[in-house]
Structure 1
Amino acid sequence: MTVYLSRIVYNSARNSSLRCFSLPERLLPQFGFYSVKKDFCRFPRVLLAKQYTTDAIQPVLALENSSIPLKKKIMHKKADLEDLTNKEGHYLTLAYVTANSYDLKGLKEALVQQKLYEPATLQAQEVGDVVIANAVYTVGSEPREIIFFREGAVVFWNCTELEASNVLDLVRKYEVDSYPREVVEKEREVMTYSYQPNAKKCYLQESGFVLVPERDNSLEKFTFSHAMAQSARLGAWESRLEGLAAAVRQHSSLMERHGAANVDKKEVVRKLGELFSLRHQLNVESDLLDTPDFYWEQEQLERIYSSTVAYFTIARRTRVLNERLAHCVELLELLSQWAADRHHVRLEWMIIALILVEVCFELLHFFERYAHREEALSS
């Protein structure tokens, strides 16, 4: 009785499953449904199923494919220098980043010896790590001012490109880890500033700074300069990452064509060190991820700094740069692990070869002892 009931349950379950899983007969060969008895696995011709498409499924393209260009960095829209200089009542502001850091003490002494600029001070003494130089000789009614940051950036207020180039040549002697000249010129920031008669406070307007006339705007100028210097530094790091990403691509392409045998592990480790150094500068040494402490107690200056940073899209560029850094580090770590595994496999084969050699010697010794024993018995 139990066997009979179990057969009834089994047949009903099989029939229901076949009704739920119904395929047309023309699809059976594709799914590999073969049976000697056709009526054993009979499927109805009617199939109510969703239509699936593979149009949205694209093959994964390797990073090392030489036909695919590298993704360029995210750039904010920079102002045109010619358009800015033609505006009446607007003065030029230029920001350059030339090195990782400056020797401010030696630079300040050089400026004094040159007798073209004289050092100045800000109202707030807690700024620090900044040298401000005012031009001794004036051209027109608007003074010229230069702000040097220890982080390797310099901002020119109301200075021409020729004067800025001369000052950059002077600064080169006091640079630590200088950047290439083409990077310095490419990543500079250009803005203008003007005075509004009815303005009661300084603010950012389009591609220019608005200052209050007949008032000391030194702290506001410092704040604008700080934000411009941050953008220029970030641009230099983006250019550096482009070169490192190209090197990562070359290693990946080399491994694709020739395998892991031609991957130089020392070079991979060196590039990893450069990426970690860049990540440390971006996230630890710089204050791009947060507002500097100096502005916390200065509400107006903090507002100016935040608006200028937002104008240069520093937060988004920093996030994207960190993501690209993480991706490059992941690829290089994969290559390094691949090369290490191949080295381990080579060592294992060497050990196996040594064991085989030892076994061969043991076999020779065994045959020698066997031969001597036979000779002794025969004699």
Structure 2
Amino acid sequence: MTVYLSRIVYSTVRSASMRCFNVPEQFLPQLNLYSKKNSFLCLPCIIKTRNYSTGDVRSPVVLENPSIPLKKKILYKKASLDELTNKEGHYLSLAYVTANSYDLKGLKEALVEQKLYEPATLQAQEVGDVVIANAVYSVGSEPREIIFFREGAVVFWNCTELEASNVLELVRKFEIDSYPRDVIEKEREIMTYSYQPNAKKCYLQESGFVLVPEKDNLLEKFAFSHAMAQSARLGAWEARLEALAAAVRRHSLLMQRDGIAHIQHKEVVRKLGELFSLRHQLNVESDLLDTPDFYWEQEQLERIYSTTVAYFTIPRRTRVLNERLSHCVELLQLLSQWASDRHHVRLEWMIIVLIMVEVCFELLHFFERYRTEQIA
């Protein structure tokens, strides 16, 4: 019995001694002494030490290369007009989206007839689907410029809100599939721009654009304007999806309350067509999913456009909009299938009723013939 107990104690102590302990250095002498005193057991004592530091903990990136700045993520927030007009040395830039598309030819002729703006070109580079207008009469030293995009967007540089509203009234005659006025005002984009004396190239800084002084920055303004117009267009589509989602929500609540008895198949198909049209505009007709071809050979302009698009969080908003579209389409397709099944069931019951009526008439005729034979 004693032999068995000694073996049990020996195995327990051996398994405990095989474990790994993390201890500070100041306890090593005592542990070494303890190990020497118990050397007759021939137990391997494996001890791992960890060096502790009382200094400040620093980031590995800072220790390896202190010159690398930490990347700060810029969060986009729609600015207010009152906040930006009070900045000294900053000029206003407004972007509106008013329709699905513009008739640029008629718009350009109307601007020439009005004699308030004259057309301009982008440094001998013709960019399709764009009309640029410079103000004939100057107010101050900074010129006023307007950029019209065929996709139904217009961007004002150094124009007041009153002048922008007057131009929008002129543009209304050449709009195709106009948007509601509340959507136009709500989804506009407001930015500021300024000139930095030491700037060698244009770039985006917080909520404003930095331009190079004493230089023709029209191409850079076009890149900034294009990104602002894309954000405004995406905002209008988001507002349109909100209205369609409200209709889908009403259908779903009606289905939960009364089933599908009061859901019209034509209305469901019409809403489904509007959702497919919006998805087509977002993913096929627009260039929100990729950089436009114009910037492929313009590295500086592509950098400006990509930076501004990232500032307005257009990729993330496009992804979220596509996900919401897919959810609404799936729900409407389910409602459409149920409404179709209900229509088919109604037709089947009508056929059954007609067959039953025909059977009743046949039975009636059979009964009349039987009575006639009995009387004869």
Bucket of the pairwise TM-score, normalised by the shorter protein: 0.7 to 0.9
Q: Which residue of 1 aligns with 2:271?
A: 271
How far is 1:369 from its partner?
3.5
Q: Which residue of 2 aligns with 1:283?
A: 283
Q: Which residue of 2 aligns with 1:193?
A: 193
Q: What CA distance in whole angstroms lies between the structure 1 residues aligned with 2:197 and 2:362? A: 101
How far is 1:261 from its partner?
1.7
- 1:124-147 per-residue CA deviation (whole Å, 9 max, x = no partner) reads 534211110111111111111000
1:215 to 2:215 alignment: yes
Q: What CA distance in whole angstroms lies between the structure 2 residues aligned with 1:201 and 1:132? A: 22
Helix, strand or coil: the match of 2:261? helix
How far is 1:103 from its partner?
0.9
Helix, strand or coil: the match of 1:107? helix
Q: Which residue of 1 aligns with 2:137?
A: 137
Q: Which residue of 1 aligns with 2:174?
A: 174
Change (3 A) 1:264 1:76: farther
Q: What CA distance in whole angstroms lies between the structure 2 residues aligned with 1:125 and 1:212? A: 20
How far is 1:322 from its partner?
0.9
Q: What CA distance in whole angstroms lies between the structure 1 residues aligned with 2:180 and 2:372? A: 78
Q: Which residue of 1 aligns with 2:323?
A: 323
TM-score (norm 1): 0.77
How far is 1:357 from its partner?
1.5
Q: What CA distance in whole angstroms lies between the structure 1 residues aligned with 2:304 and 2:156? A: 18
Between structure 1 and structure 2, the one with the greater Rg is 2
Q: Which residue of 1 aligns with 2:262?
A: 262
Which one is further off, 244-253 or 222-231?
Answer: 244-253
How far is 1:76 from its partner?
4.4
- Structure 1 segments (4+ residues) deviating >4 Å: none
Q: What CA distance in whole angstroms lies between the structure 1 residues aligned with 2:129 and 2:138? A: 26
- 1:24-73 per-residue CA deviation (whole Å, 9 max, x = no partner) reads xxxxxxxxxxxxxxxxxxxxxxxxxxxxxxxxxxxxxxxxxxxxxxxxxx
Q: Which residue of 2 aligns with 1:98?
A: 98
Q: What CA distance in whole angstroms lies between the structure 1 residues aligned with 2:94 and 2:159? A: 8
- 1:187-213 per-residue CA deviation (whole Å, 9 max, x = no partner) reads 000001111111111111100011111
Alignment of 1:71-90 (within 5 A): 76-90=76-90
Q: Aligned partner of 2:345: which letter?
A: V
Helix, strand or coil: the match of 1:338? helix
Contact 1:101/1:176 (<8 A) preserved? yes
Q: Which residue of 1 aligns with 2:358?
A: 358
Q: Aligned partner of 1:99: which letter?
A: A
How far is 1:373 from its partner?
3.9
Q: What CA distance in whole angstroms lies between the structure 1 residues aligned with 2:369 and 2:115? A: 97
**Structure 2 unaligned spans of 5+:** 1-74
Q: Which residue of 2 aligns with 1:246?
A: 246
Q: Aligned partner of 1:113: which letter?
A: E
Q: Which residue of 2 aligns with 1:57?
A: none
**Structure 1 unaligned spans of 5+:** 1-74
Change (3 A) 1:133 1:77: same
Q: Which residue of 1 aligns with 2:125?
A: 125
Contact 1:100/1:175 (<8 A) preserved? yes
Q: How many residues align?
A: 302
Q: What CA distance in whole angstroms lies between the structure 1 residues aligned with 2:374 and 2:80? A: 100
Which one is further off, 255-264 or 150-159?
Answer: 255-264
Helix, strand or coil: the match of 2:122? coil
Contact 1:126/1:294 (<8 A) preserved? no
Q: Which residue of 2 aligns with 1:22?
A: none
Q: What CA distance in whole angstroms lies between the structure 2 residues aligned with 1:82 and 1:362? A: 84
Helix, strand or coil: the match of 2:118? strand
1:349 to 2:334 alignment: no
Q: What CA distance in whole angstroms lies between the structure 2 residues aligned with 1:256 and 1:365? A: 48
How far is 1:368 from its partner?
3.1
Q: What CA distance in whole angstroms lies between the structure 1 residues aligned with 2:177 and 2:369? A: 72
Q: Which residue of 2 aligns with 1:113?
A: 113
Helix, strand or coil: the match of 1:361? helix
Q: Aligned partner of 1:187: which letter?
A: E
Q: Which residue of 2 aligns with 1:160?
A: 160
Q: What CA distance in whole angstroms lies between the structure 2 residues aligned with 1:242 and 1:319? A: 15
How far is 1:115 from its partner?
1.1
Helix, strand or coil: the match of 2:176? strand
Q: What CA distance in whole angstroms lies between the structure 2 residues aligned with 1:136 and 1:373? A: 106
Q: What CA distance in whole angstroms lies between the structure 2 residues aligned with 1:124 and 1:370? A: 100
Helix, strand or coil: the match of 1:261? coil
Helix, strand or coil: the match of 1:260? coil
Q: What CA distance in whole angstroms lies between the structure 1 residues aligned with 2:246 and 2:76? A: 22
Q: Which residue of 1 aligns with 2:22?
A: none
Please, what is the CA RMSD of the aligned residues? 1.4
Q: What CA distance in whole angstroms lies between the structure 2 residues aligned with 1:76 and 1:223? A: 18
Q: What CA distance in whole angstroms lies between the structure 2 residues aligned with 1:232 and 1:267? A: 29
